[in-house]
Amino acid sequence: MRRSFFILFFIFTSLFAFADEIFFSDRPGSYAIYNDLRFEEQTIVGICYVGENTVLARSYEVKSGNELQILVQFITNDNKITLGDNLRILKGDLNSSQASARLLPMLMNWANTWYNSKEEINKKDIYSVSTDDDYFYNSWIPVFQLDYIGNKKDISVFSIGLIADFSDKRFFEVTNIPQPVESESYKIKKGKALDVVIDGLSVPLDDNWKTDNNRLYRIENKTPQDSAFMIETINYVEAGIPSLKELTKLLLIGNMNFVLFTDGLSIEAEDNMYNITMRVFDPVQNKVTIQQKQLIDREDGYVSIATLACYETLYLQNKKYFDKILH
């Protein structure tokens, strides 16, 4: 993250008394964005953790363009979440609309329901609880780990990530769910098998894939990079990352494009490996790519990260071909 994030993080958190108990485990800058259709006006709700139990919340009403941004620090009192002494309004007005008036009570409700369930959420990854409504959780989602409430069509998460600074367009300029266009697609014919070994790992590629350096392989039939494959080996312990699961989460939210937490995303763990499949939206091209990552534990803190990326339309037409590479 860029230096400006840490400067603004220091300014914002210095407005509040430091919390006695840090109950959020997210890295500062982690965020989740929701599409809320429960009321008359469609509202985009973004929740970003900035540190010291402090959350920056943003609501944007799609039709009117009315926007509210507030900075809230939560504290615990008798095993419940309550507000700290200060509430900072960064943009807009709490009373400017019904959606704006709902934002703070909604945050308090989400915070308390999550706080009472967070141990079970992290233990089971997928968890649900019923209070005033049915809450469905996914441990990979930042901040409140909330996937959707009640009927998924009414309110659900659609993007997660990690902001680079406090002007990051992926969080602060989202005005609706992305509507990507399809990329050009074609059927890939199975080619002659290649003997590809990268960092000691054998990879089942064929001669559809071209390389200049035996590190990055590409299929380039319609564009300079219809699809790409590479392997990197790093020591995550030396990088200060406590576990392979934490590294997986960082890879999931750390993409500099717009990660869509929608159908098609999956995280699986088996045999000291994590497999991620995610949909990533590129706002410049207005297209979605599928990114598959496989994390292979090499012991002593070393892990190999195999990455396969291609346009979603091409992936769906050749799903069996691509899935054989990392599975």
What pTM was estimated for this model as a whole?
A: 0.91
Does residue 155 share a domain with residue 51?
Answer: yes
* Number of domains the chain is built from: 2
Does residue 125 share a domain with residue 52?
Answer: yes
40 in any annotated domain: yes
CATH number at residue 297: 3.40.1000.10
- Alpha-helical (H) ranges within 116-268 are 118-124, 169-172, 244-253
Distance CA 39, CA 97 (A): 12
180 in any annotated domain: no
Q: What is the pLDDT of residue 20?
A: 62
Average pLDDT, integer, range 177-190: 93
Closest-CA residue to 279 (of 313, 241, 229) = 313
What is the token pair recorded at 253?
Answer: 């939210």
178 in any annotated domain: no
Does residue 221 share a domain with residue 132?
Answer: no
User: Three-state SS for 197?
Assistant: strand
Per-residue pLDDT tens digits for 191-224: 999 989 999 999 999 999 999 998 999 999 988 9
For residue 74, pLDDT over 60 is answered with yes
Closest-CA residue to 126 (of 113, 138, 115) = 138
Q: What is the pLDDT of residue 237?
A: 95
Does residue 312 share a domain with residue 223?
Answer: yes
153 in any annotated domain: yes
For residue 141, pLDDT over 70 is answered with yes
78 in any annotated domain: yes
Does residue 152 share a domain with residue 232?
Answer: no
Does residue 227 share a domain with residue 156?
Answer: no
16 in any annotated domain: yes
185 in any annotated domain: no
What percent of the chain is predicted at pLDDT more than 70? 94
Does residue 260 share a domain with residue 132?
Answer: no
CA distances from 16 to 28, 70, 257 (A): 16, 14, 31
Does residue 116 share a domain with residue 19?
Answer: yes
Does residue 111 share a domain with residue 22?
Answer: yes
Does residue 38 share a domain with residue 147?
Answer: yes
11 in any annotated domain: yes
Closest-CA residue to 86 (of 53, 60, 116, 114) = 53
Does residue 228 share a domain with residue 153?
Answer: no
What is the distance, to the nearest Å, from the Cα of residue 21 to the centroid of all Cα atoms in its chain? 25
Q: Quote the DSSP letter at residue 182.
A: P
Does residue 202 share a domain with residue 308?
Answer: yes
For residue 189, pLDDT over 50 is answered with yes
Boundaries of domain holding 71 = 3-172
Per-residue pLDDT tens digits for 41-50: 999 999 999 9
